[in-house]
Structure 1
């Protein structure tokens, strides 16, 4: 076990001992849906100007999700392509983004604090989230508010830790196909002035593909307290991941061949990662109208990853640690409220890449990269909300953010094979992030909302300093995305629904083309419609629908030597399905039994930038059921991919061949919950 994991377990154990002194009381739940991602102070979900969806803890129990993709598919315009184990690629009002673009395009938070520092994002970033222990998830589609900074480009995902005062003790265990075993335990101790919670969750799977097992453990301690002058919340989270990794299968429709789909050409590939996060949030009242909040935090993560998808099969060893503070003051006025805040953070990251196998082509045996980067972030922001009338509200915000990197190359400044080691240097980037929104209540339960916003991401350190010959760091600018949207929301007694239209333009798009060169001035366009609906069809049946239609287009030309990867303005971006649907029917004939049937649709998409090859899409059906056997004992079961459909989680065309991450065949799980 690594030093990071040992340190984290020691902190968790000490916190649990402190938690033991609080007296036990039963938990409860709030009736109103409140979201906190846009303001940190909370506001009603149906009135917020941000396009935010909340997935509560009850939905997580209903889903019994093995992977965050199962939860986030319930949000319109959102889809995760699941890789092997905990791996994933994300789409939120976007194509499914890969590499550095995918790493920095989405901001993943825990209680409003980024899981990673801005320049050290990971394309599989949600494997570090508390997916099994969270008290809810909030998803913002498109740029966030002034409170969120770099990486909040296409969307924000905020995992919320559960409140000790509103969470019951419980235990659950689950067994299933492909050697799956999953368990979770929660101990909550609500008290008059101090409440505490300890949660630990673990999962194991042998893998439905060869040599593709997974072991993942997460632990959370949260302690809430009250004093005469302020309230406080302390959290500690630890995630440990060990997985074997299966790569692509190749050939036309290779995913349809079950023997081929189960195979793994890279049985030695693996990903081992640990993440530790500590935070202390202090809340107080300066006077009757003024509220302040200060949150110091620290994080550390490290990962060893065998890069099985390139001929070198090099070992990547990376990690970074950070300390930071979030601070804000919120003032209530006669016309609304305003908030002023500042965020500061200092981080140190390292990356080392080593090839042990003999030299092949330009993939040279030995050390490729070994560098460290010190990063500093400072941000100021202001956001105000004005009630122009009883029905009309205006929200405006502005965030100014500066990110600086100081890079230290630990190897010779030269070119070795296909690897260019940049000389020591410093780089700084300034982000200006405005947003403006209006909410108009046009009826007792209807709102019309419109919003203009800009999102941005600073270049990632791996994009700047992990170069190939012919590439340069100079000229790489922050990506910006300008978004306009208009939406209608209606909340009724039996029917809630919303419809949102959006149009976005992204500039300074950075990626590496099929020839291996940096593209620094790309442009893309995005527009679409999103629908969310919940209908209480009868006293026993509830229907939910989350769907989107969108087009994601290149807005520039980029010729390359491979015709299938030549970019033309107006062409569809690869891996950008126009249609995404998720529909669920929930049946609860008695207070003790409920069942859910889910249909998930992935539309057709192009698998190359030249729009010469396609994946036809797929439809999946899942079945879930819960039965309250006794007052505090529940039995649950699920059948994923009920119709045993042959499909691809991800399809791609590269190196002259169709490539697929094959989708999992039908799997059955059954489990029991005690408490909760």
Structure 2
């Protein structure tokens, strides 16, 4: 869906303004921050018994990302690989995961509500989130708290909607770039009083159009979000509605050793018919009712629906997949805050989903990739998950957090095509599968001084298999053999301030069993084991003369913990315990040097993005050497209500791969874009 002049007409309709002043504020001291992802009532970041990162609203505004990876990779330990258009793959304390593993290992939230149903994930699901105008983004690395269940395995990302302003105001921001890129972000909000009650209303609309820097790779994307707030002496309420639409022409992998560095190849597209069309709508009502000074009740009913149709360009045969689901559910929590700093939260999450998937190959048979229908099925899913989350003040400086969640999942599968084997595909008969997972958590935070807090966190995460893991089977599999993935984690860390230096550091060790993944020849592995350990550090400090320095670095090892020998392509697919997992760089980093000038009316930033080398297949016979990319951003308030902004991405014009892969005997890459200039303006009133 291309919008032409409508993207410019909407700012006129809103009559609005700049997303930020030219100069960003420095991050708030950690001891002054509150995070809302851990509990419904919010948690002081200083005493949070585990890692938590926060991308501020001002950071969202300054970066002006046209792809969510540009923003989220600023958070420590996050390694988002941009594929083409709005596609991406995620890594958080993990290798870059694809297929069911990628869809099921990370939980994507909007104001604490999962954007997709458990079991119906999508590795690209973040393009549905409203990150462009977010009120902040919180990231937890490793297992989520007892508040969250399936998919909060390696980490979670919670995109927060912006709160309405107390008085009428708005924002319109436009950005122009190469290859026809145009982005328009527009927000208007207001607030008013009615007796003792306060109200707020906010609406935002985002348009993005890009002809693509590679052949046949343009897309149009539209997003909108509405939020209404209400508050009185006994109630806090906010309701949200979000919608997303994407129409994308997709450029597939380029193939050949280091093809990403070949100027004659990097802008080509061998599959110009590839595409992705997707839309999604979501709504939720967040209601907290205060019964008295000690007791409060939180209920969040929600509804979601999505549809997607796309060409599976990463597999031979040109298959077309159609999928979608709708869900209704509610998150419920009763909170008791006793005297002495103790808190008990009794919660229950319930959810019902109806989903479907159909996969057809229109092209002639290629080996085991057969022409015709591969799969056609529906799944009804029910999830019931009671949990207990507690916080105990053991002393003036020590806080214990403990919790446990029991999650029961029922899948009712109906096959709508012939049962049996066709090529590599196995279509199973109608069946019902159930999974019950228990995930405990124990954390301790101790304040050694006003400047330093240490923490230790033990947690288990689990996820019921994705429906695609269970029912999109292959000829070598046995129905019902897949079990819930389970990950155990130990984390030790500290956060605080040393003079003007704000920091958070953590070390972790994790083991995972029943790891489900797809090998380099596209065959499923159902019972893998892996281990993961590493250290992470996140820093910020102001410097002299208006400069400041911030960023993060991590060293991590992600290893197979089992052996697997295969007859097909053993040089690529054999697995040995203790060997690095493919697509798992040991070193990652993001360092930013900022400079505020012109009496605080302008700010610039030089960003260094580091990606270490990594293997691209399980046997370690192919590798990518990694890269270092530099980006330059600047923004200035030129008038009271007008700001100008510009950025140069890939400042040194490096030839690199956004993602390096190995499949079906070939080195495969999504190449990184050449040096590119983006510029625009903001207007506020």
Across the aligned residues of Structure 1 and Structure 2, the Cα RMSD in angstroms comes to 2.0
TM value normalised by structure 1: 0.94
Greater shift, 194-203 or 486-495, is seen at: 486-495
CA contact (8 A) 1:515 1:560 kept: no
1:386 is aligned to: 392
CA contact (8 A) 2:487 2:510 kept: yes
Name the SS of the counterpart of 2:264 in structure 1.
helix
Name the SS of the counterpart of 1:165 in structure 2.
coil
1:291 shift after superposition: 1.3
| Cα distance between partner residues in 1 of 2:577 and 2:249 | 39
| Cα distance between partner residues in 1 of 2:562 and 2:263 | 40
CA contact (8 A) 1:106 1:156 kept: yes
| Cα distance between partner residues in 2 of 1:419 and 1:101 | 19
Q: Map of 1:11-26 to 2, 5 A cutoff?
A: none
TM value normalised by structure 2: 0.93
| Cα distance between partner residues in 2 of 1:95 and 1:488 | 25
| Cα distance between partner residues in 2 of 1:248 and 1:402 | 39
- Is 1:201 the counterpart of 2:210? The answer is no
2:131 is aligned to: 131
Deviations 1:573-608 (A, max 9, x none): 001000001000110022111100000100011111
2:527 is aligned to: 521
| Cα distance between partner residues in 1 of 2:551 and 2:490 | 24
CA contact (8 A) 1:446 1:489 kept: yes
Name the SS of the counterpart of 1:597 in structure 2.
strand
- Structure 1 regions of 5+ residues with no counterpart? 2-12, 20-26
- Structure 2 regions of 5+ residues with no counterpart? 2-9, 15-20
2:5 is aligned to: none
| Cα distance between partner residues in 1 of 2:615 and 2:583 | 6
> Paired residue for 2:302, among 282, 290, 297?
297
CA contact (8 A) 1:243 1:271 kept: yes
| Cα distance between partner residues in 1 of 2:633 and 2:521 | 46
1:508 shift after superposition: 0.8
CA contact (8 A) 1:239 1:274 kept: yes
1:234 shift after superposition: 1.1
CA contact (8 A) 1:37 1:138 kept: yes
- Is 1:474 the counterpart of 2:483? The answer is no
1:510 is aligned to: 516
| Cα distance between partner residues in 1 of 2:358 and 2:187 | 38
CA contact (8 A) 1:57 1:136 kept: yes
CA contact (8 A) 2:50 2:491 kept: no
CA contact (8 A) 1:38 1:50 kept: no
CA contact (8 A) 1:281 1:296 kept: yes
Greater shift, 476-485 or 229-238, is seen at: 229-238
| Cα distance between partner residues in 1 of 2:248 and 2:166 | 34
| Higher-RCO chain (CA-CA 8 Å, sequence separation at least 6) | 2
CA contact (8 A) 1:638 1:669 kept: yes
1:501 is aligned to: 507
1:492 shift after superposition: 4.3
Deviations 1:4-49 (A, max 9, x none): xxxxxxxxx9xxx9x9xxxxxxx9x997422100112112222211
2:596 is aligned to: 588
- Is 1:576 the counterpart of 2:584? The answer is yes
1:661 is aligned to: 670
1:319 is aligned to: 324
1:218 is aligned to: 223
1:485 is aligned to: 491
Name the SS of the counterpart of 1:58 in structure 2.
helix
| Cα distance between partner residues in 1 of 2:588 and 2:166 | 35
Change (3 A) 1:517 1:596: closer
1:228 shift after superposition: 5.5
1:258 shift after superposition: 1.5
CA contact (8 A) 2:234 2:291 kept: no
| Cα distance between partner residues in 2 of 1:558 and 1:446 | 45
1:360 shift after superposition: 3.0
1:358 shift after superposition: 2.7
| Cα distance between partner residues in 2 of 1:672 and 1:518 | 49
1:311 shift after superposition: 2.0
- Is 1:433 the counterpart of 2:439? The answer is yes
| Cα distance between partner residues in 1 of 2:73 and 2:361 | 38
1:112 is aligned to: 112
1:474 shift after superposition: 1.6
> Paired residue for 1:237, among 227, 238, 242?
242
1:415 shift after superposition: 2.0
1:412 shift after superposition: 1.6
Deviations 1:100-126 (A, max 9, x none): 111100000000000100100001110
1:539 shift after superposition: 5.1
| Cα distance between partner residues in 1 of 2:479 and 2:485 | 15
Q: Map of 1:533-552 to 2, 5 A cutoff?
A: 533-538=539-544, 540-552=546-558
| Cα distance between partner residues in 1 of 2:591 and 2:524 | 40
CA contact (8 A) 1:413 1:422 kept: yes
1:39 is aligned to: 39
- Is 1:605 the counterpart of 2:614? The answer is yes
CA contact (8 A) 2:383 2:407 kept: yes
1:567 is aligned to: 575
Q: Map of 1:57-68 to 2, 5 A cutoff?
A: 57-68=57-68
1:639 shift after superposition: 0.2
CA contact (8 A) 2:520 2:572 kept: no
Deviations 1:499-536 (A, max 9, x none): 21100000111123346544222110100000100011
Greater shift, 649-658 or 481-490, is seen at: 649-658
2:680 is aligned to: 671
1:392 shift after superposition: 0.7
- Is 1:150 the counterpart of 2:150? The answer is yes
| Cα distance between partner residues in 2 of 1:493 and 1:169 | 37
Name the SS of the counterpart of 2:582 in structure 1.
coil
> Paired residue for 2:655, among 632, 646, 665?
646
